[in-house]
A and B are shown apart, each in its own frame.
Chain A
Amino acid sequence: MSARTRVVLAAAPSLATLYARAAGARLTALFPGAKPAGGALPQVEHHLDGLRVDPGKLVDYQRMMGDTVRDELPSVFVHGMVFPLAMSVMVREDFPLPLLGMVHLANKATHVRPISPAATLSATAHAENLRGHRAGTQLDLVVEVGEGSEVVWRGVSTYLARGVWPGAGPGAPAEPHAAFAAPGRTASWKLAADTGRAYAAVLGDYNPIHLSAASARALGMKRAIAHGMYLAGRALAAAAPHGTGYDWEIEFATPVFLPSTVDVAFDVGAGRTTFSGWGARSGKPHFSGSITAL
């Protein structure tokens, strides 16, 4: 049913190479708006077979998130495994938005069933749903992960390219944030300045906006910000069910500048846990989401 052309990659792309390419493209283009405006998303899907888990990285991940070392792949770890494939779509010459400086708006995923760390996985990624946002342009990156012929994981990441208007230009003006009243906290996360570097060391995502204040400033951030998937990983480590599949989603409101203390609230309902995080000091909402057992 898909009209997309399948591009089968021989090996997992290296994120370092991808970021270098993205940086190169940025240097040539100089400004985000210089990307060919008005472009449509490439009608391709990138595919990779033979994905294996590095057991050492898995343990490092579980330790970093405060999760238990167990023989089930954490959902955000799966996201991290296939992120280079998703990136490879976004650094294509014909991709209409600049990769560097893009921010995460939201993620949702269906973790269809428990996935063994011993599994050999395949993954297919494509971009869709290019659309406007008050601060730029957003799109969805969809990745399906399979084991054999079975889809075991499907994730949709929504990204925003700030200040990029491929279409008619700025959409509706920003609506003022609804006043945020923090719920009672049930946990507090102290995120060190090196949180982004620790995440990069485990999942290989060396996006400069997460690494250091200096590298983040180069991309227009006032300080390094926590990786959205780090925040999602912490929430899932605390509340994801085991031995069953589950849906989860997270939306990001304002960035978590590092270092920072994030107050968090979990609310457990029947089969569904909601969570939210906000700045312990600033009181600004950072993220909210939910986890639903299948």
Chain B
Amino acid sequence: MSEPLQAIRPAVVIGGNRIPFARSNGAYSKASNQDMLTAALDGLIARFGLQGQRLGAVAAGAVLKHSKDFNLVRESVLGTSLSAQTPAYDVQMACATGMEAIGSLANKIKLGQIDSAIGGGVDTTSDAPIAVSEGLRAVLMDLSRARSTSAKLKALSKFRPRDLAPHAPGTGEPRTGLSMGDHQAITTKAWNVSREAQDELALASHKNLAAAYERNFFDDLITPFAGVSRDTNLRADSTLEKLATLKPAFGRNLGADATMTAGNSTPLTDGASAVLLGSEEYARENDLPMLANFVDFEAAAVDFVHGAEGLLMAPAYAVARILERNNLTLQDFDFYEIHEAFAGTVLSTLAAWESEDFCKNKLGLDAPLGSIDRSKLNVNGSSLAAGHPFAATGGRIVATLAKMLHEKGSGRGLISVCAAGGQGVVAILEAR
């Protein structure tokens, strides 16, 4: 006997806002995560007239966080004109932070627990936390625990000059010691993705993002910050010839097979994004637009530690599961938003879905998921052009896709975001 399902209602995407993404150690060098998240929230609040409102929840996060930012999102909310009675919490799931925050909020709305919410994320690699070395930290902790003078002196005696070297966070996977790019290089080679195909995808990202700016697509999705009004990584005049001159940046141990460059990989970037979600009733009562339904989302993870799968391939698995649950095929979408951590990630994922062997032996399917219409992929640009402030990418994509679907007036969009730790989150949005 199955339990009766709790009645669920649609969760709708009302709109989004982000600040332009800026290359690391550039325009936002002095801005903190809290500054940027507050700016993204302020813009969203102003756009939809949320001043003084008590929202159901605000959930966001940052991948690189200072220890002082233990309540980053609540502190940011307190700095906005939202009601101080709006609860807020931090989420962290590496580069899928924004997607997990937004998806979980949508679930709460669907269940009727809350009527409105803001989900998003922020990251800075310019104002990154620098930690003291483990040696110095151990000395300081022992010192703080020491009661007597002799115990304090004993703790101090363990200090070594080399302990003064600070430790900055890296993008290396803790369990493998390989950078994310070096991990992707393994996958890129395994799927025989060519340098040319990666450069073409990177070029398309820049051209599409530039075209979207040209037609003012982002006018109601972005508010300027710190004198920046466009993503600073955007190179509208990039060419395949220029991209072809770049030397490999990752997987250099592969020699002639190294194909990943700074041009077809996302740069470190600073920025923040936020998405307003609500029930249909909430949107109607407050006279707010309804761009798209947040239909479903799914997380997956893979064992990259022992080489069973590529680090960034989890979304390939998540998509198979979300399609089955929603009784859809990979071709039933009008837009595909596949986060461009690296061009190789997108192309490896597409190749996997086309592969009979992968779909049969890894996904357990009878037939491959198949190919997609590439003209529907990342049509307004993605992370290669816009940049990728880790936790902020989910909010950028959800807001962009919801607007695209609303403009079209019908259809469905698929989101795929890979993340460190061999994880990924995918989602389905439906036009309204």
The reply to whether the CB of A16 lies closer than 8 angstroms to some CB of chain B is no
Q: Which residues of B contact A239 (CB under 8 A)?
A: 306
Say yes or no: B174 contacts A187, CB within 8 Å. Answer: no
Question: Is B193 in contact with chain A by the CB < 8 A criterion?
Answer: no
Within 8 A of B (CB), among A194-236: none
How far is the CB of B92 from the nearest CB of chain A, in Å? 20
Interface members, chain A 34-74 (any B CB < 8 Å) = 63, 66
Give the interface centre of B175, B253, B307 by most chain A CB atoms within 10 Å.
B307
Is there contact, CB below 8 Å, between B178 and A185? yes
Cβ contacts under 8 Å, A267 to chain B: 306-307
Given contacts A263-B253, A280-B253, contact A186 B307 (CB under 8 A): yes
Contact A238 B253 (CB under 8 A): no
Once the chains are docked, how many angstroms separate the CA of A66 from the CA of B172? 14
| B334 close to chain A: CB less than 8 A | no
Contacts of A136-157 to chain B: CB distance below 8 A: none
Q: Do A273 and B306 have beta carbons less than 8 Å apart?
A: yes
B177 touches A265 (CB 8 A): no
Q: Which of B174, B178, B190, B307 contacts A66 (CB 8 A)?
A: B174
Task: Specify which of A185, A268, A280 lies most central, judged by the most chain B CB atoms within 10 Å of its CB.
Answer: A185
- In chain B, what residue has the closest Cβ to A234? B177
Residue contact B178 to A238, C-beta cutoff 8 Å: no
Inter-subunit contact B253/A66 (CB<8 Å): no
Expressed in whole angstroms, the minimum distance between the Cβ of B303 and any Cβ of chain A is: 7
Known contacts being A265-B307, A268-B307, is A187 close to B175, with CB within 8 Å?
yes
* Beta-carbon contacts under 8 Å, A180-199 to B: 184-190
Contact across chains for A268 and B308 when beta carbons are under 8 A apart: yes
Residues in A neighbouring B176, C-beta threshold 8 A: 186-188
Q: Does A248 contact B (CB under 8 A)?
A: no
Q: Which chain A residues border B308 with CB–CB below 8 Å? A: 268
Which residues of A lie under 8 Å from residue B177 when comparing CB positions? 187-190
* Distance between A43 CB and nearest chain B CB, rounded to angstroms: 44
Contact across chains for B175 and A66 when beta carbons are under 8 A apart: yes
Q: Does B305 contact A (CB under 8 A)?
A: yes
B186: CB under 8 A from chain A?
yes
For the complex, is B304 an interface residue (Cβ under 8 Å from A)?
yes
CA–CA, A23 and B253, complex, Å: 42
B69 to chain A, nearest CB (A): 25
Known A-B contacts A66-B174, A238-B175; the reply to A186 vs B253 at CB < 8 A is no
Separation of A273 and B305 alpha carbons in the complex (Å)? 12
- B241-273 near A? 1/0 per residue, CB < 8 Å: 000000000000100000000000000000000
**Pair B175/A184 contact, Cβ less than 8 Å:** no
Q: How far is the CB of A272 from chain B (nearest CB, A)?
A: 12
Distance from B288 Cβ to chain A, minimum over Cβ atoms (Å): 48
Residues on A with C-beta less than 8 A from B303 are 268
Mark each residue of chain B from 171 to 187: 1 if its CB lies under 8 Å from any CB of chain A, else 0.
00011111000100010
Give the interface size class of chain B.
10 to 19
User: Within 8 Å of chain B (Cβ to Cβ): is A266?
Assistant: yes
**Known A265-B307, A266-B305; contact A187-B178, beta-carbon cutoff 8 A:** yes
Report Cα–Cα, A291/B377, bound state, in Å.
44
User: Are the CB atoms of A188 and B307 closer together than 8 Å?
Assistant: no
* Min CB–CB distance B348 → chain A (angstroms): 14
Contacts of A189 in B (CB 8 A): 177
**Chain B residues whose C-beta falls within 8 Å of the C-beta of A187 in the assembled complex:** 175-178, 305
- CA–CA, A63 and B134, complex, Å: 10
Given contacts A190-B177, A263-B253, A280-B253, contact A185 B306 (CB under 8 A): no
B310 to A: closest C-beta gap in Å: 10
Residues on B with C-beta less than 8 A from A266 are 305-307
In the bound complex, CA of A263 to CA of B182 (Å): 12
Query: Which residue on B lies nearest to A273, using beta carbons?
Result: B306
Residue among A189, A266, A267, A273 with the highest chain B CB neighbour number at 10 A: A266
A63–B174 alpha-carbon span in the complex (Å): 13
* A263-B253, A280-B253 as given contacts; A186 in contact with B174, CB under 8 Å: no
A66-87: CB near B (< 8 Å → 1, else 0) gives: 1000000000000000000000
Given known A-B contacts A66-B175, A263-B253, A185 and B305 have beta carbons under 8 A apart? no
Q: Give every chain B residue within 8 A of A268 (Cβ-Cβ).
A: 303, 306-308
Could you tell me if B186 and A184 are in contact, using CB atoms closer than 8 angstroms? Answer: yes
Which chain A residues border B174 with CB–CB below 8 Å? 66
Which parts of B182-220 form the interface with A (CB within 8 Å)? Answer: 182, 186, 190
Closest to A187 in B: B176
| A184 and B307 contact, CB distance less than 8 A | yes
CA gap between A267 and B176 in the complex, in Å: 13
A190 to B179, CA, bound (A): 12
Which residue of chain A has the shortest Cβ distance to B186 in the bound complex?
A184
Q: Name the one of B182, B190, B304, B305 contacting A188, with C-beta atoms under 8 angstroms.
A: B182
Query: Please, how many angstroms separate the alpha-carbon atoms of A188 and B134 in the complex?
Result: 21
- Shortest beta-carbon distance, B62 to chain A, in Å? 25
Cβ B305 vs Cβ A186 within 8 A: yes
Contact with B along A265-285 (1 / 0, CB 8 A): 111100001000000100000
CB closest chain-B residue, reference A262:
B177
Chain B positions 275-310 with a Cβ under 8 Å from a chain A Cβ: 303-308
- Cα–Cα, bound, A266→B253 (Å): 17
Q: Please provide the chain B residues from 133 to 163 with a CB less than 8 Å away from any CB of chain A in the complex.
A: 134
Nearest chain A residue, comparing its CB with the CB of B174: A66
Measured between beta carbons, the chain A residues less than 8 angstroms from B178 are 185-188
Give the distance to chain A from B171, nearest Cβ to Cβ, in Å: 13
Q: 0/1 per residue, B295-334, Cβ < 8 Å to A?
A: 0000000011111100000000000000000000000000
A239 to B178, CA, bound (A): 17
User: Nearest chain B CB to A140's CB is how many angstroms away?
Assistant: 30
Residue numbers in B under 8 Å from A63 (CB-CB) = 134
User: Can you give 9 A-B contacts (C-beta < 8 A)?
Assistant: A63-B134, A66-B174, A187-B175, A188-B176, A188-B182, A238-B305, A265-B307, A268-B303, A268-B306
- 17 additional A-B pairs beyond A186-B186, A188-B178, A268-B308, beta carbons within 8 Å, are A66-B174, A185-B253, A186-B304, A186-B305, A186-B307, A187-B176, A187-B178, A187-B305, A188-B176, A189-B177, A190-B177, A238-B175, A238-B306, A266-B305, A266-B307, A268-B303, A268-B307
Residues of A at the B interface (CB closer than 8 Å) are 63, 66, 184-190, 238-239, 263, 265-268, 273, 280
Binding site for A on B (CB under 8 A): 134, 174-178, 182, 186, 190, 253, 303-308
* Pairs of residues from A and B, 10 with the lowest C-beta to C-beta distance, nearest first: A186-B307, A187-B176, A268-B306, A266-B306, A188-B177, A188-B178, A266-B307, A187-B177, A189-B177, A268-B308
